[in-house]
Amino acid sequence: MTDSAYAWFEREQRERGIDMTQVKARLNALKIETPSWGYADQGTRFQTFKKAGAARTVQEKLEDAAMVHRLTGACPNVAIHIPWDHTEDYGKLAADAKSLGIGIGAVNPNLFQEHDYMLGSVTHHEPEVRRRAVEHLLDCVDIARATGSDALSLWFADGTNYPGQGDIRQRKAWMEESLREMYRALDPGMRMLIEYKFFEPAFYHTDLADWGMAYNLALKLGPQAEVLVDTGHHPQGTNIEHIVAYLLDEGRLGGFHFNARKYADDDLIVGSANPYELFLIFSQIVLAENDSANPLVQRTAGRIAYMIDQSHNIEAKVPAMIRSVMNVQTQYAKALLINWNALAEAQQAGDVLEAEAAVRDAFEQNVTPLLHAVREEAGLPADPMRAFKTSGYAERIVSARSSAVNAR
Ligand code: AOS
Ligand code: ZN
Ligand code: ZN
Ligand code: ZN
């Protein structure tokens, strides 16, 4: 992209009434956490296609995450999953990450892979199983402390497959009791991000099925508990940006698990099947960020944990992550181009078509020259995908990781 392409873009935006200095500063500030599990061989319930060069160890996952950060400048942290990323020395894990130029992000406990948890973990009917699950949650708080992480992302597969299988209200009480014990163990600077999902793997009822249940639990637990919105976790047609606006307004939007879906929890590249949805989510965030006089909104608006939660089964993993980060940047950039004064005027005048146009017009802008300029000004490759292709990294990991080591 030439300088003149950006100069033209900037002139256009000035005419649209957009303050480009602010747009650039906000784009620069956008940080997105990538998931360690997105670099390893992960599949669907049907097949896991082994990829040459996929990370086999925690160290290799860190290396891939660091590569994504080097090329995008936007991914300083990597989320870890316990026990997939288990290690004897978490202080060393953090130091290894640091030496690669990244840090450890959210710690994700895993309470869904063991036989004991078939009928539930923190909501299991046997106290011994619940105890074990809570102990794992407490271990994860220790791991967060040891790695310098300030966030715990909680997702539970807990639920039932058939009516009558479990006592829904009793399980609700156990969920609260278990999470309260974990909450008490948090350090003051730590946040507990509570993720909800309406189905899968449980197909009749899920103990934390929607944002309302997660929000209610967060309210009961205290100010360090917030809601995590995974974009793939809603019934078809759900207005996710409305949920986002609501949680922002209540000061309880903790963060996101970004991914794209068309049918269920597809965990595909964010912004691929549903770019307009992602744009509308960001438009609510930008609007909340602008609402600087509202302390409740500001409580979370400035520190939303943007995390990617994807599983790449047929696509090359490192470039898929780079693509994902770029897609997020693209939709955030577009949301920053909404002329809020024009929108407010149209709303005030009751002009439905003008109001809708003010939003859509931003979505229809081509932000490529802007993103190239922002990256170049930060000393980054203008096109991280192309930079990856020519970097030789893909070839290097294929040859370096050809011996048989199990990632987990
Ligand atoms: C599961 O559907 C949730 O999205 C989890 O956040 C996540 O995929 C899992 O913890 C990663 O293994
Ligand atoms: Zn998720
Ligand atoms: Zn999910
Ligand atoms: Zn998902």
* Angle of the 352-363 helix axis to the 340-348 helix axis, nearest 10: 160
Atom of ligand 1 nearest to the CA of 110: 10
CATH code (residue 206) = 3.20.20.150
Q: Count of domains in the chain?
A: 1
Q: Which residue has the CA at smallest separation from atom 6 of ligand 1?
A: 155
- Is-contact 194 226, C-beta < 8 A? yes
Atom of ligand 1 nearest to the CA of 195: 6
Q: Is position 358 within any domain?
A: no
Report which of residues 402 and 352 the model is more confident about.
Answer: 352
Of 237, 76, 224, 234, the closest CA to residue 154 belongs to 224
Q: Is the pLDDT of residue 406 over 80?
A: no
Q: Is the pLDDT of residue 319 over 90?
A: yes
CA of residue 157 to ligand 4 center, whole Å:
12
Atom of ligand 1 nearest to the CA of 112: 10
Q: Is position 223 within any domain?
A: yes
* Cα 353 to chain centroid, rounded: 33
Looking at the chain, the whole-number percentage of residues with pLDDT higher than 70 is: 98
Ligand 1 pocket by Cβ (under 6 Å)? 37, 81, 108, 155, 195, 197, 230, 257, 265, 309
Structural domain for 224, as ranges: 30-335
Q: Is position 163 within any domain?
A: yes
Atom of ligand 1 nearest to the CA of 228: 6
Rounded to an integer, the average pLDDT of 5-12 is 96
- Is-contact 147 102, C-beta < 8 A? no
Q: Cα 203–129–141 angle (5° rounding)? A: 95
Q: What is the pTM of this model?
A: 0.97
> Which three-class secondary structure state does DSSP give residue 212?
helix
Q: Would you list the DSSP string of 17-36?
A: T--HHHHHHHHHH--EEEEG
Q: Is the pLDDT of residue 408 over 50?
A: no
Q: Is position 259 within any domain?
A: yes
Residue of 39, 84, 121, 155 to mutate, ligand 1, most atoms within 8 A of C-beta: 155
Q: Is position 357 within any domain?
A: no
CA of residue 261 to ligand 4 center, whole Å:
8
User: Which residues are within 5 Å of ligand 3 (an ion), measured at CB?
Assistant: 265
Q: Is position 53 within any domain?
A: yes
Enter the ipTM. Answer: 0.95
CA of residue 381 to ligand 1 center, whole Å:
31
Q: Which residue has the CA at smallest separation from atom 8 of ligand 1?
A: 309
Q: What is the pLDDT of residue 404?
A: 58
Residue of 45, 195, 200, 312 to mutate, ligand 1, most atoms within 8 A of C-beta: 195
Q: Is position 408 within any domain?
A: no
